[in-house]
Amino acid sequence: MSNSQIEQIEISIADAKKMIARADALQRLQKNKDFKNVIDEGYLKDEAVRLVHLKAHPNVTPEMMVTIDRDINSVGSLRQHFAVIMMLADRAEQDIQANHEAREEVLAEDLEGIH
């Protein structure tokens, strides 16, 4: 039984490391000047402001409003996606520690069972 427990713990640790690697990649991207220019400033800031101003324009038709709303939601979704990546990485850090402790407990129980 403990071999399957240890295997599951190792899988959980590997999955957590993947989440942390993704967050590390995002942090590297966010430090890149081109990413800052195109995504942070150009899309998440400037495009969001442009869309909100466009939404308030008196000549906007109901059909255009649907597109504008969709585009505003897209900006928010991307920002939320980035936030979720970072939140999951924080949780993964905690999970790794807990899984290391659980693995040690399972190994200790196995040793007790041998003696």
Tell me what the pLDDT averaged over the chain comes to: 94
Q: For residues 19 and 87, is the Cβ–Cβ distance under 8 A? A: no
pLDDT digits (tens, 9 = 90+) for 49-69: 999 999 999 999 999 999 999
The domain spans of the chain are 2-114
* pTM (two decimals): 0.81
CA-CA distances (angstroms) from residue 71 to 76, 80, 105?
Answer: 9, 14, 50
Q: For residues 47 and 68, is the Cβ–Cβ distance under 8 A? A: no
User: Amino acid letter at 4?
Assistant: S
pLDDT digits (tens, 9 = 90+) for 97-106: 999 999 998 8
